Amino acid sequence: MLIKKIEKILSDKRILILGFGREGLDSYLFIRKLWPVKFLGIADKQKISEIKLEKDKNIKLHFGKDYLKSLKNYDVIIKSAGIPIKTITPFLEKRQRVITQTELFFDLYPGIIIGVTGTKGKSTTSSLIYDVLKAGKLKVSLAGNIGKPVLASLFDAKNDEIFVYELSSHQLHKMKKSPRIAVLLNIYPEHLDYYKNFKEYAAAKANITKYQTKKDYLIYNDENLLVKKIAAKSKAIKIPIKGKYLNLDMEAAKKIGSLFKIPEKKISGAIKIFKFLPHRLEFVEKISGIKFYNDSLATIPEATIEALNFLGKDVETLILGGFDRGLDFKNLAKEILKRDNIKNLILFPATGKRIWEEVAKQKCIQPKHFFVDNMKDGVSLAHKKTSSGKICLLSPASPSFGIFKDYAQRGDFFKKYVKKLGKK
């Protein structure tokens, strides 16, 4: 059945895999399992190691700055989600079809897909749902934006297997199918360099429920106004949830567990032993009485505000700043100033300067501020300025690009230098 479906889409077409990261490699392995000698193109802006491909004589590589010029030679382009549609549109012709891994998986897999999205919290929620379903002895896999490509797994998947699929806005963009069960947590401004505007970003998120039927389920955050508007248009059976930060994520997992009739004791047991994922309010170490928390994945102001709400009055030092995507920091500044427990702001470029400007506008007692351009100095300063018994929180309210490769590297550097403090 799978072979017949995929043949209709790809068998007689010239195929290009666009983007050769985790998704691209998985797409390559998927196609090679179906057609070991079919001609394939692979394109990527970066020069990719050819070790995995050196024995394959039926591929053409298009690497480097002119990689998009290769698009015209192919019928079907399997695009990695991180490459914006607007980037490739000038190189496309009407006859060509652009698809993603997510679209292919939704077209091909006949079983239950639980889709989870939100500007923040989707990885934690997906992981919680997975743990709850495992506790209920159900056959379940965790896939998608959380770092596990899915196409190659189709060959071994059974129809009774449940896929918990973390869906980014990039994966949902241009989708024409929605999952059987959808979880929509929140929508805040983000990735505005990828989309034309915030409206287009929100529309991408809305695709998680747009194509649901009356037999499907939508679990949604009843306290987020934009999410409520999207839910009002959905045809699915609606299940509202409330809560802040981790509490919202847990509520979603509880609702999913109830849908699958998992005993409440097993649901609460799975949630009780759940551990925070790396870079998401991750406790690092207690040094000189100071508790250090790594929340590097807080790439928007709203996520930092939620972290401050969650950790409470013990946060004395806050490390902020990063790549500038033009986000608004007014509300974050107000939240910082209404907490008299926050005594120190350690600020990275480029948004660190903008965040401080918003704080400085307010006519009230302001925390001390320090500008740094590397994590070693930032952690050392935090250690000197934070009182014993208090918290130092890395929650940047900004993307990591510029000084750091990504949020994971930023968080890893933070942990590295905190742990070095403990060895002195």
Among residues 68, 99, 130, the one where a domain terminates is: 99
- Binned at pLDDT 50, 70 and 90, residue 122 comes out as very high
Tens digits of per-residue pLDDT, 74-97? 999 999 988 988 899 999 998 999
* Measured distance CA(367)–CA(184) in Å, rounded: 36
Tens digits of per-residue pLDDT, 297-349? 999 999 999 999 999 999 999 999 999 988 999 999 999 999 999 999 999 99
Backbone angles phi, psi at 326, to 5 degrees: 80, 20
Query: Is 12's pLDDT higher than 80?
Result: yes
139 and 78 both lie in a single domain: no
290 and 415 both lie in a single domain: yes
Count other Cβ atoms within 10 Å, centred on residue 358. 18
CATH of the domain at 92: 3.40.50.720
Percent of residues, the chain, with pLDDT higher than 70: 97
177 and 191 both lie in a single domain: yes
Q: Are 171 and 113 in contact (CB under 8 A)?
A: no
CATH of the domain at 302: 3.90.190.20
- Binned at pLDDT 50, 70 and 90, residue 362 comes out as confident
Residue 17: domain span: 12-99
Backbone angles phi, psi at 363, to 5 degrees: -90, 80
Mean pLDDT of the chain: 93
125 and 205 both lie in a single domain: yes
95 and 107 both lie in a single domain: no
Domain-located, residue 305: yes
221-235 average pLDDT score = 97
Domain-located, residue 119: yes
152 and 266 both lie in a single domain: yes
Q: What are the angstrom distances between the C-alpha of 420 and each of 255, 286, 414?
A: 42, 12, 10
Domain tally for the chain? 3
Among residues 241, 272, 303, the one where a domain terminates is: 272
- Binned at pLDDT 50, 70 and 90, residue 275 comes out as confident
Among residues 99, 126, 146, the one where a domain terminates is: 99
Domain-located, residue 211: yes
Contacts with 317 (C-beta within 8 Å, 6 or more apart), sequence order: 342, 343, 344, 345, 346, 382, 385, 386, 390, 391, 392, 393
Q: Are 293 and 302 in contact (CB under 8 A)?
A: no
β partners of residue 55:
none
Q: What is the pLDDT of residue 267?
A: 98
398-414 average pLDDT score = 94
Picking from 180, 231, 238, the residue whose alpha carbon sits closest to that of residue 205 is: 231
38 and 128 both lie in a single domain: no
* Measured distance CA(142)–CA(164) in Å, rounded: 5
117 and 90 both lie in a single domain: no
112 and 253 both lie in a single domain: yes
Picking from 105, 110, 75, the residue whose alpha carbon sits closest to that of residue 93 is: 75
Tens digits of per-residue pLDDT, 40-74? 999 999 876 655 677 889 999 999 889 999 999 99
265-290 average pLDDT score = 94
Domain-located, residue 139: yes
Domain-located, residue 91: yes
* Measured distance CA(399)–CA(322) in Å, rounded: 6
221-244 average pLDDT score = 96
Domain-located, residue 31: yes
Dihedral of alpha carbons 90, 30, 50, 73, sign:
negative
Q: What is the pLDDT of residue 49?
A: 62
55 and 135 both lie in a single domain: no
288-299 average pLDDT score = 97
117-144 average pLDDT score = 95
Q: Where are the alpha helices (DSSP H) in 184-261?
A: 198-210, 225-233, 246-259
124 and 149 both lie in a single domain: yes
- Binned at pLDDT 50, 70 and 90, residue 147 comes out as low
279-291 average pLDDT score = 95
Domain-located, residue 268: yes
- Binned at pLDDT 50, 70 and 90, residue 98 comes out as very high
Q: Position of tokens 């991408």?
A: 204
221 and 264 both lie in a single domain: yes
* Measured distance CA(314)–CA(333) in Å, rounded: 18
Q: What is the pLDDT of residue 52?
A: 65
Tens digits of per-residue pLDDT, 162-211? 999 999 999 999 999 999 999 999 999 877 677 788 999 999 999 999 99
Domain-located, residue 124: yes
Burial status of residue 357 (CB atoms within 10 A of its CB: 0-12, 13-18, 19 or more): exposed
Q: What is the pLDDT of residue 192?
A: 67
